[in-house]
A and B are shown apart, each in its own frame.
Chain A
Amino acid sequence: MVKYFFRRLIQLAVVAFIISVLIFLLVHLLPGNPATVILGPNDTAHNQAVLFKQLGLNKPLFQQYLTWLGSVFHGNFGQSYLNHESVTHIIATGWPIDLELIIISQVVAFAVAIPLALFTSRRPNRPIDNVSTTGTFGLLALPPFVIAPVMVAVFAVSLHWFPATGYVPFTQAPATNLHDMILPSLAITAGSIAVYYRLFRSDLISTLQEDFITMARSKGMSTRWIMWRHAFRPSSFSLLAAAGVNIGALIGGLFIVEYLFAINGLGYSLVLAVQQRDYLVVQGISLVIAIVYVLLQFLIDFIFTMVDPRVTRE
């Protein structure tokens, strides 16, 4: 067991290291640099040189990387070149937003997909099943950048039910926070509903064919009881797998919703930082995102090995 965790830790470290190097190289590839962004049009050759020195940008690349890596190990991710806000602070205020978006959207997705799948898997190919199938595929065909502007136009601008932008931290005002996050979360949820519904339904149908289900039925148990007790648990594994993959994919895609709703999550901050050549912010946030992704995969993996008796570890 300890060996298992230890090996996972090594793998995490290796992946994180590789990604940090790649990101570092990528941002330094970009034309333009923080000095020009800071100085703006009030640029002179002398000033650029001075600023470069002040920011430590005149040192050779690998030295800059090692300096950064060293300070990361001390818990210091550096500051933004533009406004000197500490990167740790940016990350600390940003990640709750992403977490909340993911939680709300996935909860809604499960709340819709699971009951629907439970319902239609017992009536395969009947009209309700076909409608649901097509309907959920339809949801897959409505990406966030389509849903978001329309929702804003309808619910925010016309009906004034929800705000078009804005965010209040949960700890500050829970009700307002949830209220403001509804539209952005719904923009993300559509695709997830489709994925979970399709998967859960097919897995349920598969499980329902199995011998032990037939046996339960022959014993006289009600269908609903069977579904809940015997079909749900095994089938939920594939759902778990899908959740892991889906959330992993979502993490990378949150930026578009954050951008459309002017929410300051990590995705949006990352894109802004790249555009402003704020190297340290980019490196810090990228590293955190990558680590979160890896940990998520590990977690799903671990849960699988623990809960599904049909799966064995080596």
Chain B
Amino acid sequence: MPDDRELKQTGNSARLVADRFPGTAALDELVTAVETEPMGADDVLAKKPLGLLFWLAVGWVGLIVILAIIANLLPLPNPDFQNYNALNAPPSIHHLLGTDDLGRDLLSRVIYGARVSLIVGFVSVAIGLLVGGTLGLISGYKGGVLDVSLNAGAFVLLAFPAIVAVIAIVAFWGQTLWKITLILGVAVIPLLYRVVRASSLSFSNRDFVIAAKTMGASTSRIIFREILPNVIPVAVTFGLLTVAGVIVIEGSLAFLGLSVPLPTPSWGNIIEEGASNGNLQTNPYIMLWPVITMFLLLLSINLIGDRLRQRFDIRESLI
């Protein structure tokens, strides 16, 4: 048990002491405040079924994922095919969502674009959780030099103006879907590290962990059998929110031309296309469809994350 940290518990919420290293205190407060939802109305809700809204959200996410996966099998026109006789066509039987300013079918582009957003979002967060989450899990429990140095590293990474790095790395290394996913994955590692670490830290001081230690359990057993299962809900919740965040970042990068290369569609670059060249006046559909789809997806992800958080926060029942 790290001896230079102290826990004080008041009521339902655990507040952490400001660490030797700055920055984490603020976030840790945030994490514990959010994650330790009280025995109150929300908990009452948690005992109820998850709710219609939740399942609608799951349904939408599921729909998008499935469509993205089976896109090849669907009777969609080639998303890159430009039909010069149908530039900026409104929705019709031939083009259910209309076409863009190069005559490409918008329904097809939005569905294929979903692939990019989903892959960039989920895989980058997976990388973040795998690397950052594991490090945070271990670091939160073990503390000591490892903890201090990882905290320092995370802090430096977070203080770094990421946009410079992204521009530089893309210019130097190249601009493919997987490279961008990897870059963003690395970028979210410090975020997920801190979140998982804070959670791991708060559990490390709980009775059941101390009990396990007293009984002579090995470090890895404690970490993976006792702490990890309790940390997963937090990791999943924040992971989901981070997915939403990364999908948005991909959109911003598309505006600088740093997303997937043309003519491959991504929601970000379709939106960018829709906002440029005066398209918003001549053909608002270009921007409309990816915005609606992305909006609903992000909304769904947030709702799911929120509900899950409410559900899993009854830790008392696990002990």
Contact = CB atoms under 8 A, between A and B. Distances in A.
A/B touching: CB–CB < 8 A:
yes
A308 interface: yes
Interface string B280-310: 1100000100010011111100110010000
Contact of A199 (B6, B30, B41, B275): B30
B111 interface: no
Interface stretch (B72-80, B90-98, B221-229, B244-252): B244-252
Nearest to A253: B252
A183 to B, nearest CB: 14
A297 B25 CA distance: 9
A274 interface: yes
A141 B29 contact: no
A145 B10 contact: no
Interface string A126-161: 000010011001101111111001100100010000
Contacts of B179: none
User: Is chain B's binding surface mostly helix, strand, loop or mixed?
Assistant: helix
B144 interface: no
Given A19-B156, A26-B164, A310-B10, A124 B41 contact: yes
Interface in A1-50: 8, 11, 14-15, 18-19, 22-23, 26-27, 29-31
Interface string A188-229: 000000000011001101101111000000000000000000
Contacts of B207: none
B41 A290 contact: no
A286 B161 contact: yes
A30 B13 CA distance: 48
B168 A27 contact: yes
Contacts of A245: 26-27, 30
Contacts of B169: 26
A65 interface: no
B40 A124 contact: yes
Given A143-B252, A237-B29, A298-B22, A209 B161 contact: no
26 contacts: A19-B156, A19-B159, A23-B164, A26-B164, A31-B172, A124-B40, A146-B295, A199-B34, A203-B33, A209-B39, A238-B33, A241-B25, A241-B26, A242-B30, A252-B163, A256-B252, A259-B255, A274-B163, A290-B161, A294-B22, A304-B18, A304-B29, A308-B15, A310-B8, A311-B8, A314-B20
